[in-house]
């Protein structure tokens, strides 16, 4: 491709609306432009990167036996109503009515569509297992679209769906996708780790996420990893072993309400009462689907709202406002306690459940209650883990300690069980003629997020450094002066030779100054640069340089093709 014939609007200046280096580079390199919040247009270079990555994904999915289909973005709301996700998808789902007043949604994921596709058509165990995938636009009205393609509202995803007759077969299908994912991300240049994750509104039994660990602010996810390598989970889901030195009294004492003037926070109350934070219990008021509820964790810990949401089975969960706290407990913030809140759901963490004679708010201004005990003084609705794991906690398996890392989720895999097949009647007859719901799995890869994640790693202060596998073109061909006939002659000849060999080349045929061309080439980040200038031409040579390396080789102009091929091979191994 000739630069003069394509469209690469590079930008000299950093853009004020891009926090991440990867987002900055995509804007400045002329890869993407924003149309609206979370809505991006992919320019010719980005389109090629998307094609490259899609092709990697396709090859690995096909190798695993998956079949490519394309499902519509538009879907009748009725299917989502049948699975219950019309409600649970909440505001993330874009909804509309068509001209006939039918309610429709824009799919953010395609479990409903794909299950309805096979429901009634796949009837026998002989037609299973089946794996259908697509590479398609998704729409999610994300609450905080940000970071460019990392969290868009419209984005491209590869989503695959497996259908199996029994658990053993499903385990093989799931493992095949896990293996394909490791292969995909490796080819894209990313080392990823697989972590346990929350199933969220997807439902089902268990899930994993594929995380690319970063130490920049691009890592939206916190991952807890055991220092002995035996456990890795998203912090949303992470379990832990409590290592705090907690004193548990032998005898239950009588409750006693005490004044705690000016002491509302944990620090203030522990200082005032001269007790350890582990003897204090935080009672936090939340609004769960607009109903008040209380969550209790030990004073030295915090609530994991995802765990809490799962325990409640609610769609919306928000901290109560100070006004709501006053209305439902009768006291201002800082003095909430479980005693007397019997009308509402009270969820108690097991670390609280094992305590005796602890301190809680008295639901009266500037008062706390000493020697409170679960069951005796209030009835918990549920005792279940709602505590956030933190760095330094014990790993739930083995003897290690948890470390907190940040990562970008580039893919995930869900064990869906029969949630969708039951809701949408996707059943089959097994070998003995018994009708059963199909066991399903669902598997996503961010087709637009992943290339941007790649850039968090592959860049320097001048611009992008694409790995060969993801680059929009392999070679940047740069004659330094288009006004010099000799430069043009060698450039045209080299361009033709590269194209004939099937090497993808971007030929900078603009009459720009050499400095401008070099800057643009560094920004755009193609893996290999060929430069044609007076100095090397004097010796009958052109310059060959890897974008990732400082050195320059002089290659006789006629031998450039094998030299490029050799360099490409070497770069691919890195």
Cis? peptide before 491, omega within 30° of 0: no
Long-range CB contact pairs, 197-201, < 8 A, 24+: 197/233, 197/234, 197/236, 197/237, 197/412, 198/234, 198/236, 198/237, 198/306, 198/310, 199/414, 200/306, 201/85, 201/88, 201/89, 201/90
103 CB neighbour count, 10 Å cutoff: 14
Asked if 85 is part of the footprint of ligand ATP (rule: CB under 6 A), the reply reads no
In the complex with ligand ATP, the residue whose CB is nearer, 411 or 533, is 411
Interface map 272-311 toward ligand ATP (x if CB under 6 A): ----------------------------------------
Q: Which pair of tokens denotes residue 496?
A: 């033709």
Asked if 451 is part of the footprint of ligand ATP (rule: CB under 6 A), the reply reads no
The sign one gets for the Cα dihedral 315, 320, 324, 325 is: positive
Q: From 188-196, 347-355, 440-448, 483-491, give the range in contact with ligand ATP by CB under 6 A.
A: 440-448
CB of 75 to ligand ATP, least distance (A): 15
In the complex with ligand ATP, the residue whose CB is nearer, 60 or 520, is 60
Q: From 443-451, 478-486, 515-523, 541-549, give the range in contact with ligand ATP by CB under 6 A.
A: 443-451
Q: Which pair of tokens denotes residue 24?
A: 């900055």
In the complex with ligand ATP, the residue whose CB is nearer, 337 or 444, is 444
Interface map 399-428 toward ligand ATP (x if CB under 6 A): ----------xxxx----------------
- Report helix, strand or coil for 148: helix
Helices (H), 428-539: 449-457, 485-501, 514-524, 534-537
Q: Which pair of tokens denotes residue 79?
A: 């299917």
224 CB neighbour count, 10 Å cutoff: 28
Q: Among 129, 148, 152, 463, indicate the residue that binds ligand ATP (CB under 6 A).
A: 152
CB of 285 to ligand ATP, least distance (A): 27
Query: How far apart (Å, rounded) are the C-alpha atoms in residues 559 and 121?
Result: 58
Asked if 212 is part of the footprint of ligand ATP (rule: CB under 6 A), the reply reads no
Asked if 141 is part of the footprint of ligand ATP (rule: CB under 6 A), the reply reads no
In the complex with ligand ATP, the residue whose CB is nearer, 140 or 282, is 140
Q: Among 28, 279, 449, 459, indicate the residue that binds ligand ATP (CB under 6 A).
A: 449
Asked if 29 is part of the footprint of ligand ATP (rule: CB under 6 A), the reply reads no
In the complex with ligand ATP, the residue whose CB is nearer, 314 or 410, is 410
Asked if 142 is part of the footprint of ligand ATP (rule: CB under 6 A), the reply reads yes
In the complex with ligand ATP, the residue whose CB is nearer, 140 or 547, is 140
Q: Which of residues 518-547 bind ligand ATP (CB under 6 A)?
A: none
Quick one: which of 458, 455, 444, 509 has its CA closest to 482? Answer: 509
Interface map 100-119 toward ligand ATP (x if CB under 6 A): ---------x----------
Asked if 452 is part of the footprint of ligand ATP (rule: CB under 6 A), the reply reads no
Interface map 154-173 toward ligand ATP (x if CB under 6 A): -x-x----------------
Asked if 444 is part of the footprint of ligand ATP (rule: CB under 6 A), the reply reads yes
Query: How far apart (Å, rounded) are the C-alpha atoms in residues 190 and 175?
Result: 20
In the complex with ligand ATP, the residue whose CB is nearer, 408 or 541, is 408
DSSP characters over 273-329: HT--GGGBEEEEEEEETTEEEEEEEETT--B-HHHHHHHHT-S-EEEPPHHHHHHHH
Quick one: which of 26, 33, 23, 28 has its CA closest to 11? Answer: 28
Query: How far apart (Å, rounded) are the C-alpha atoms in residues 6 and 474?
Result: 16
Residue recorded with tokens 């804007």: 27
Binding site residues, ligand ATP, CB under 6 A: 109, 140, 142, 151-152, 155, 157, 409-412, 444, 446, 448-449
């Amino acid at each position: 491709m000739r630069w003069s014939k394509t469209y690469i609007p590079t930008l000299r200046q950093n853009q004020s609306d891009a926090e991440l280096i990867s987002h900055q580079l995509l804007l400045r390199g002329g890869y993407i432009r924003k149309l609206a919040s979370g809505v991006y247009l992919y320019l010719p270079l980005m389109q090629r990167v998307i094609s490259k990555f899609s092709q990697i994904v396709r090859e690995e999915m096909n190798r695993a036996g998956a079949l490519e289909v394309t499902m519509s973005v538009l879907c009748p709301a009725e299917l989502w109503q049948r699975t219950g996700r019309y409600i649970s998808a909440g505001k993330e789902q874009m909804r509309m009515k068509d001209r006939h007043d039918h309610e429709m949604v824009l799919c953010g994921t395609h479990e409903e569509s794909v299950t309805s596709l096979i429901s009634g058509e796949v009837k026998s165990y002989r037609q299973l297992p089946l794996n259908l995938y697509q590479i398609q636009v998704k729409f999610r009205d994300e609450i905080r679209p940000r970071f460019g393609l990392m969290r868009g509202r419209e984005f491209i995803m590869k989503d695959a769906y497996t259908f199996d007759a029994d658990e053993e077969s499903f385990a093989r299908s799931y493992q095949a996708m896990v293996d394909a994912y490791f292969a995909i991300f490796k080819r894209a240049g990313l080392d990823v780790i697989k972590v346990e994750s929350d199933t969220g509104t997807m439902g089902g039994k268990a899930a994993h996420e594929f995380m690319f660990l970063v130490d920049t602010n691009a890592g939206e996810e916190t991952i807890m990893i055991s220092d002995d390598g035996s456990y890795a989970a998203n912090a949303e889901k992470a379990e832990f072993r409590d290592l705090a030195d907690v004193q548990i009294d032998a005898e239950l004492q009588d409750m006693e309400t005490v004044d705690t003037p000016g002491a509302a926070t944990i620090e203030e109350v522990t200082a005032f009462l001269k007790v350890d934070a582990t003897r204090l219990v935080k009672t936090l008021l939340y609004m769960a689907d607009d109903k008040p509820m209380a969550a209790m964790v030990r004073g030295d810990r915090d609530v994991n709202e995802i765990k809490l949401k799962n325990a409640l089975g609610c769609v919306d969960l928000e901290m109560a406002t100070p006004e709501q706290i006053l209305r439902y407990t009768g006291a201002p913030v800082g003095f909430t306690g479980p005693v007397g809140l019997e009308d509402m759901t009270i969820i108690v963490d097991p670390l609280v459940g094992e305590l005796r004679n602890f301190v809680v708010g008295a639901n009266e201004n500037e008062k706390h209650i000493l020697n409170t005990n679960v069951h005796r003084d209030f009835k918990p609705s549920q005792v279940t883990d709602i505590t956030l794991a933190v760095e330094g906690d014990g790993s739930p398996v083995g003897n290690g300690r948890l470390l907190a890392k940040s990562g970008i989720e580039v893919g995930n895999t869900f064990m869906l069980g029969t949630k969708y097949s039951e809701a949408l009647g996707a059943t089959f007859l097994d070998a003995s003629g018994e009708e059963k719901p199909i066991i399903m799995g669902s598997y996503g890869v961010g087709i637009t997020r992943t290339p941007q994640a790649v850039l968090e790693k592959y860049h320097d202060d001048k611009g992008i450094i694409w790995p060969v596998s993801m680059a929009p073109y392999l070679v940047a061909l740069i004659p330094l002066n288009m006004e010099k006939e000799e430069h043009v002659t060698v450039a045209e000849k080299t361009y033709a030779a590269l194209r004939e060999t099937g090497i993808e080349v971007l030929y900078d045929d603009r009459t720009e100054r050499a400095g401008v061309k070099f800057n643009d080439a560094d920004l755009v980040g193609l893996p290999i640069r060929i430069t044609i200038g007076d100095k090397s031409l004097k010796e009958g040579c052109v310059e060959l340089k890897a974008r990732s390396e400082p050195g320059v080789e002089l290659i006789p102009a006629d031998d450039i093709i094998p030299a490029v091929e050799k360099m490409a091979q070497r770069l691919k191994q890195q």
